[in-house]
Amino acid sequence: MSQNESTSPVRALERDPASAPDTPETQEPKWIREIRRFLGVKSQFILWGDIHDIYPFPSGDQVTVGTLENYLKLVLSDLGYQRFFKLEPFRLTTLLGDPATSGLTLPRPEETVTLTRAEELASQIVALPQPAALMIQYGSRFNDLYPQELAKFQYGLFRLSMESQARAGRFNLIFWVMDKENDLPAWYCLDNPRVRVLPIPRPDHDARRQVITAVGPLVKGYKALAEANPKLSWSHINRLIDQTEGLFASELISIVALAAQEGLPFERISEAVRHYKLGVPDNPWAKLDRSVIEAGEERLAARVIGQTKAVSLSLDIIKRSIYDLSGSQFSSQGQRPKGVLFFAGPTGVGKTELAKSLTELIFGSPENHLRFDMSEFNQPHSDQRLLGAPPGYAGYDVGGELTNAIKQKPFTLVLFDEIEKAHPKIMDIFLQILDDGRLTSGRGETVYFSDAILVFTSNLGVYRDSPGGVREELVNPTMSYEELSEKILAAIADFFRFQLSRPEILNRLGPNVVIFDFIRPQGAQLIFQKALNNVLYKLQSTRDLEVTLPEASLATLGKLVTRDLSMGGRGIGNALEEFFVNPLSRELFQLNAKSGRLKCQINPGPDGQCSLKLTRIPS
């Protein structure tokens, strides 16, 4: 391969007109149009942003896809430039024109180029009588590789920008290709009338359309669908364009290659997008057993007692998630989370338990969820724990707790417990997740929540702190569910609208706010019986001890344990430990019981207490 041949791939692919009926006229991106417009008044351009991508280059009925240097070479050639050189760390190469006819003595391919030598060559290129250009590739890396020489080199090129002269209405150009705009010193480009700073953004809708229609024929069934039903074909293209928002053009090529590799037809290319984003070929949502969901209400009601409305709405979320209908009323191509639930109500009524039960129903295990206690995120810098520290700060390369967890487990239920205790800055993170279904970590990686269920829990509206510092109870078990619901919803609205000034979050939650009722007497007896059975089963399964309670003792214990329902199911469990588990343990220890059958007699005592007595049952 000769020196003036580029090693970067350029592909010219004919666009299929049938695949994109009534599409807008293809045009060059803004940064290319600015180069064309300003080459007669600017001697240098600083290109920064999406510089390592590929770019679609429109040319009649064809789309040429290539790297930045290929794109610039095609544009400069079209503008009549006869020489195009590339300077990168330690080497200089020719991209356009024969160096032997330029009058330059270029370094040999194996020769290491210092910045002093590079400055001399840049001066010679700018002074060439023929239209010529120099691209400085990987400019952001020069500071690490040439720490001693860089300042002098930058000043030399700064001087060139001011002293070079235009010929025939255009300059011999220098292109700096940088990762970030501020990778060059401010004095270089600010107030410099000869330098134009051009950001290269990630591909927009039109650019992604050009790339997709260029490489789409590589996917099985693309051409057949375009010929049989052009409108349906274009609807699939539109969906793919929307699903790849924020991705690089080179990533679109990877998605198409992945679809071809896995034999996916073009109608199912969305699966390739999912696989590329999440890195997980398995989709638990597609494997959900219908019979499990049909029996879900009964299973959940057995775990979360007395919360029929919460159970019913949660199952609705799962059912619509199976069909990818979450957020579809706003956009048919939405990438929002599979489901969002906001559980509010008194403590100990089953909010966290329902989240765990949903996890088990969907993913087969109650432990397959991510839990974040938001009381641990009440400081201004807490957002860095979730996303990771920004670049330049210690530990930025580690990533955040939330972004790392979702990257590892994209199919999961994420529980944000006691959301009102989080710092207000955290709410901006939630707003982005609820809107876009994605986050960018401190490392710059994008993670997606499109296959996750988000559950927020809150005790808003249950208590408030009075001006005197005394905690007041706003709701109590004597209220009806309607009155309870009205008060808690009003408190939630007040919190987001006035205390946080984030009404948009409440708007994103919509009707997914579920108010949990107090544990009522009927439900309390069921919770008591379930908790008691757990204790008795544990004794029998681990110690071979069968403990039975007469009906009168069972009734006495039930009244004691459920007489105060203000603390919900946890309060019932705590009372059972006080009145049954602790005295039972003492009696078992006294008897040195190791196995066998025991009768437990419970008698009411003074001051609301009780006495417990164990006796052996002869075998």
290-515: same fold as 10-200? yes
- CA torsion, points 314, 320, 324, 329, in degrees to nearest 10? -100
Q: Is the pLDDT score of 175 beyond 80?
A: yes
More confident residue, 435 or 399: 435
- Express each pLDDT in 324-371 by its tens digit: 665 544 444 457 888 889 999 998 898 988 988 888 888 777 777 899
Q: Report the pLDDT averaged over residues 492-496.
A: 93
**In the chain, where are the structural domains located?**
10-200, 205-280, 290-515, 521-616
Report the CATH fold assignment for 290-515. Rossmann fold (3.40.50)
Which among 76-90, 219-233, 444-458 has the top mean pLDDT? 76-90
pLDDT at site 394: 62
pLDDT at site 5: 39
Rounded Cα–Cα distance for residues 153 and 121 (Å): 11
* Cβ atoms of residues 29 and 205 within 8 Å: no
For all residues of the chain together, what is the average pLDDT? 85
pLDDT at site 145: 92
Architecture of domain 521-616: Orthogonal Bundle (1.10)
Architecture of domain 10-200: 3-Layer(aba) Sandwich (3.40)
pLDDT at site 140: 93
pLDDT at site 363: 79
Nearest to 481 by CA among 449, 531, 454, 518: 518
Residue type, 320: R
Rounded Cα–Cα distance for residues 488 and 492 (Å): 6
* Cβ atoms of residues 457 and 343 within 8 Å: yes
- Express each pLDDT in 253-266 by its tens digit: 999 998 888 888 98
**Integer angstrom CA distances of residue 547 from 102, 289, 302, 527, 615:** 100, 39, 24, 19, 10
Residue 94: in which H helix or E strand, if any? strand 91-96
Banded model confidence at residue 4, pLDDT cuts 50, 70, 90: very low
* Cβ atoms of residues 605 and 611 within 8 Å: yes
Banded model confidence at residue 6, pLDDT cuts 50, 70, 90: very low
Q: Report the pLDDT averaged over residues 377-402.
A: 80
pLDDT at site 19: 38
Residue 359: in which H helix or E strand, if any? helix 351-363
Nearest to 324 by CA among 274, 370, 361: 274
- Express each pLDDT in 198-220 by its tens digit: 999 999 888 888 888 888 888 88
